[in-house]
Amino acid sequence: MNGRKEIIGPCTLYLGDCLEILPGLGKMDALVTDPPYGVLLGETKNGQERNKNRVPYAGFSDTPEYVRDKVIPAIKMAMSKTMRGLITPGTRNCFLYPFPDDMGVWFDPAGTSIGRWGFVLSSPILYYGKNPKPFKESGASSVYGKRDRDKEIQKLHPCPKPLAFITWAVNKVSLEGETVLDPFMGIGTAGVACVNIGRRFVGIEIDEGYFDIACKRIKAAVAQGRFDFEEPESRERTCAGT
């Protein structure tokens, strides 16, 4: 059922199509998102897939057309609501994205998938807007880390990102107390990361099954109670420069 809104601690979660929900949201600080890659995930052995047992997404077909017609317009809208952004677009369709201000990679030596020219050992990271941290504190723009092999998490979603990587990404692009937006939230890994390191979070997910799992994971993180959140100041600038 579309149209649900859940508020869990510092997180506001929406069930529905982000293209429909984003226009009604106010300004936020940073975008951290991992949209569908448009690789026919789990649908065909020609998809950019490594794990033959991986199932397709529930609710939509992961095609390049979906990236062009749904994901890119949603990304542009999300960028108009935020000051900066970090996106993991996958390799196959990353050139459909708006030209970034900088790039990095997430390097996984064990391989993330199979590409047309061999095993894919890294995923691009696209940066938009201005680095919020002084250069000395900001560290590298790329990161080394292994895909999450947690079998329980892998059963919940076709391609969850490792919590360690998403925590690095949230920390990279936002400051403590800021609000982070993920319009392609999946099972809420970015929300868990935000709760753990003291950010507010706004997440949107189109599939009710994944949405329910996100609510559960974020509730569990909030229950650990690591942060008291104060009201954020309003901010006006956006990473799309509007």
Ligand X SMILES: C[S@@+](CC[C@H](N)C(=O)[O-])C[C@H]1O[C@@H](n2cnc3c(N)ncnc32)[C@H](O)[C@@H]1O
Interface residue list for ligand X (CB under 6 A)? 17-19, 34-36, 57, 60, 70, 157, 159-161, 183-184, 186-187, 189, 204-207, 210
Query: Residue 95 Cβ, how far from ligand X at the closest point, in Å?
Result: 18
Which alpha helices (H) appear in 36-106, and where do they start and end?
Answer: 64-66, 72-80
Query: Residue 41 Cβ, how far from ligand X at the closest point, in Å?
Result: 8
Q: What is the largest CA-CA distance in the chain?
A: 49
d(C-alpha 182, C-alpha 191), whole Å:
8
Query: Residue 163 Cβ, how far from ligand X at the closest point, in Å?
Result: 8
Which of residues 100 and 160 has its CB atom nearest to ligand X in the complex? 160
State the Cα torsion 56-33-20-84 to the nearest 10°. -160
Report DSSP state, residue 53: T
Query: Residue 227 Cβ, how far from ligand X at the closest point, in Å?
Result: 21
What are the C-alpha distances in Å from 231 to residues 10, 24, 97, 179? 10, 20, 33, 10
Residue closest to ligand X (Cβ): 186
Which of residues 181 and 222 has its CB atom nearest to ligand X in the complex? 181
Which of residues 148 and 237 has its CB atom nearest to ligand X in the complex? 148
SS3 content of the chain, % helix, strand, coil (to 5): 30, 20, 50
d(C-alpha 142, C-alpha 122), whole Å:
10
Which of residues 178 and 207 has its CB atom nearest to ligand X in the complex? 207
How many residues are there in the chain? 242
Which of residues 208 and 235 has its CB atom nearest to ligand X in the complex? 208
Q: Looking at this protein, which amino acid is placed at residue 238?
A: T
Query: Residue 202 Cβ, how far from ligand X at the closest point, in Å?
Result: 12
